[in-house]
Amino acid sequence: MPRLMVLLAALLLLAGCDRPSSSGLLGYVEADYIYAAPVSGGRITEVAVQRGDSVAAGARLFALDASDETAKRDQAKAALDQAKSNLADLMTGERTEELAIIQAQLDAAKASMTLSVPRVERRRKMVTSKIVGEEEVDEAESALLADRGHIAEYTARLAAAKLPARADQIAAAAHAVTEAEAALAAAQWSLDQRTVVASADGRIEDVFFRAGEEVSAGAAVLQLLPPPNLKLRLYVPEPQLGAYKIGQKLDIACDGCAAGQTATVSFIATSAEFTPPVIYSRESRAKLVYLIEARPDDTAQPWHPGQPIEASPAP
């Protein structure tokens, strides 16, 4: 019986003991991940990274089949080339061969007129001598008038052929070029989106799809963690809340962390909550606490999301 009493006393003593209380804040490391996803679905043709790789901003992450987008880009480029050719044709007037035809017609009309003028003079003299009648004079004068008309016509046609098209035609062609350029830019953008690159420096935390698999639009293919996206979630009891403010420096301690780690308070919650289950300590459980977030000052330190930490105000 005395031995049983001793055992019960020992158990009660152990039950009343807990880990030493700490004046610091308890919390853990958390991360805001970037989920790289395509803007449109398709078959993955390449995954250029593996889990654990460190990548730089702009590095190629993965690519999707781009056959359809490439064809549409080439079609848009051909349409732009045609629109530019139409505009250039309207700006330069008729071709050299067409100008040569009109010039030849003008030269023929001038040559015919050189014969018509003396013919009229001769017919008039012959009418005076009663050799020919008035009808032949009328025919010669009519031919002369026809030659003059042809000369005027071909001269005007030649001048018009050397001019560019009407202003409204040129404006319409210019608008067509602008529209074709916009279509090409849109097609090129769609093609570029088939290759996804890293938006920031970081570490590949996970890869969810492999080459050959189908992925839908907006579905994350991999998980990227940039070092600036690391944060520390800490919980401060309500009586101590006034001791913390945005921008305040904190000393950070954790298992495996290098000595002298610090962080800067970036967020203080305005509403209280019960201590999360992950923050296990007898003195803090079942208490109302406020969430504080802090950004590590040394992102080169190998912080691990989920890692327990302890923080205290820096001197």
What b/e string do you get for 230-254 counting C-beta neighbours within 10 Å, with b at 16 or more?
bbbbbbbeeeeeeebeeebebbbeb
User: Which range marks the domain in which residue 50 is found?
Assistant: 36-64+189-225
pTM of this structure: 0.66
Does the residue 199 lie in any domain?
yes
Same domain, 101 and 143: yes
Distance CA 5, CA 15 (A): 15
Q: Which amino acid is at 80?
A: L
Does the residue 12 lie in any domain?
no
Does the residue 1 lie in any domain?
no
Same domain, 119 and 170: yes
Distance CA 298, CA 302 (A): 9
* CATH number of the domain bearing residue 57: 2.40.50.100
Per-residue tens of pLDDT for the chain, all 315 residues: 444 333 334 433 344 444 444 558 899 999 999 999 999 999 999 999 999 999 999 999 999 999 999 999 999 999 999 999 988 877 765 566 677 777 788 788 777 777 777 777 776 767 666 666 667 766 777 777 887 878 887 787 777 676 565 677 888 889 999 999 999 999 999 999 999 999 999 999 999 999 999 999 999 999 999 999 999 999 998 888 889 999 999 999 998 888 899 999 999 999 988 877 766 555 555 478 899 999 999 988 888 899 999 999 998
Q: Hunting for tokens 């780690």 — which residue is that?
A: 261
